[in-house]
Structure 1
């Protein structure tokens, strides 16, 4: 197996769906725990040198977070600051959780809610993927609730 060199990750564009799936597989391989990853791309689809995991996010994306909105809205607002701060143009979300490649109701809910919150915050979501026990699965827009 050829491992991705960190320098290549910040030089080689990942423009196609297959490129994205392969990059995520190269970087993350298989699920270990429930967490959410964010990869950032510039305007030329080159990965920015930031790969962020977030563990312990709420079970439900519509869970209220005080006066700041729902969990998904708060996450989108935080992403907006990061995207601006690092000069990213697009984001890729990877939902990591142990188990099969079958999308659960929770997978669909989070993908749909965070996608909608990002659209409201003018954040371009390039892709969402599920990282499971055996690798990576694409989450199509039709799959998200």
Structure 2
């Protein structure tokens, strides 16, 4: 899905990412639990949303375009949800988004369940640009810490 042949640009936590009508930053990642399953929780700060009213939002633009990859090349989908959304312009908007990524060993993207990353530092966040402008990266990688 995301690990094709597009050139991947390396970004750091806190560095501004311009993709389509959005500018955002990955501002943090920590570990957590969902029942007995380990999770990696990722926080995004949205700095710019130039989408027209009654069109797509950040979540809709990036669903199926983000994934976590560990050193064993196990992959997990990333689904950013709005934090404290406000309804305006025909949709829910938020300046922050949070993704809870469940590290389920039976997930279809797992190649080696014994080597699933143990904490956020073991993962890279891969993001594909949903609507790349000429001066924007098509794909970025952010090493979590």
What is the TM-score normalised by the length of structure 1?
Answer: 0.28
Q: Choose between structure 1 and 2 for higher RCO, CA contacts under 8 A separated by at least 6 residues.
A: 2
What is the TM-score normalised by the length of structure 2?
Answer: 0.28
Determine which structure has the larger strand proportion and give its number: 2
